[in-house]
Amino acid sequence: MSLDVIDTKARVYADARDRLQAAVAELQAAMDALKRDHLPAIKRHLRRAFEHENELRALVEQAPHLFVKPRTVVLHGIQLGFEKGKGQIVFGDADTVVNLIRKKLPDLADTLIVAKYTPMKKGLAQLSAQQLKAIGCTVEGTEDRVIVRAVDSAVDKLVNALLKSLGDEKALAEAEAI
């Protein structure tokens, strides 16, 4: 065995890697061209879908009496109606909440307070409304809200993945704003 044999094999391997890299680059260029060709139509369809969603949302908002029991229905693969909002814990001054947790819930302080002395929203979410009130927190956004969403969101995932893969953050922001 000599270094010349290894050198020859290294050259063969390097050539194979170069051909592989060229094939991958060619594939990527073809995919980029396809994306560029199809993206305008996808954006138009996306914009139109948002328009229809907003129209449907307005219709549902105008007819809450149709969604008492059941609160949601699935029509043509689209779930619509009302659902309870998840809510969001809100507090004014973090230091005040931390001090109140230490005073009123000392056994839970390690669970509810991060070392930097900021209330932990995940931990606070486990408390009752009465406990939250005692430490100066309120829960907002639990009122009914209209929902309109496709039961099968594969298309939404595909569109978002496509827009993100293009690196076209502006187009994604525009599409989401519509």
Q: Are residues 77 and 13 in the same domain?
A: yes
Q: Are residues 8 and 68 in the same domain?
A: yes
Domain count, the chain: 2
CA-CA distance, 90 to 137, in Å (whole number)?
Answer: 6
Q: Are residues 147 and 70 in the same domain?
A: yes
Check residue 67 and give its pLDDT. 93
Q: Are residues 80 and 157 in the same domain?
A: yes
The residues with which 75 forms a beta bridge, in sequence order, are 78
| DSSP code, position 172 | H
Q: Are residues 92 and 112 in the same domain?
A: yes
Q: Are residues 35 and 100 in the same domain?
A: no
Q: Are residues 30 and 62 in the same domain?
A: yes
Check residue 129 and give its pLDDT. 87
Q: Are residues 136 and 148 in the same domain?
A: no
Side chain identity at residue 68, one-letter code = V
Nearest to 123 by CA among 144, 159, 145, 97: 97
Check residue 85 and give its pLDDT. 87
Determine the number of helices (DSSP H) and then strands (DSSP E) in the chain: 7, 5
Check residue 178 and give its pLDDT. 46
Q: Are residues 80 and 160 in the same domain?
A: yes
Q: Are residues 56 and 130 in the same domain?
A: no
- Whole-model pTM? 0.54
Backbone angles phi, psi at 102, to 5 degrees: -60, -35
Peptide bond into 70 cis (omega under 30): yes
Check residue 154 and give its pLDDT. 65
Backbone angles phi, psi at 135, to 5 degrees: -105, 15
> Is residue 147 helix, strand or coil?
strand
- Domain range for 104: 88-140
Q: Are residues 58 and 93 in the same domain?
A: no
pLDDT tens track of the chain, all 178 residues?
888 999 898 989 888 888 888 888 899 899 999 989 998 998 899 899 989 999 999 999 999 999 999 999 999 999 999 999 888 999 999 889 999 999 999 999 989 988 777 898 899 999 998 999 999 998 888 888 887 666 666 666 766 676 666 655 555 555 555 4
Give the strand pairing for 78-84 and 72-75.
antiparallel
* Contact yes or no for 113/97 (Cβ under 8 A): no
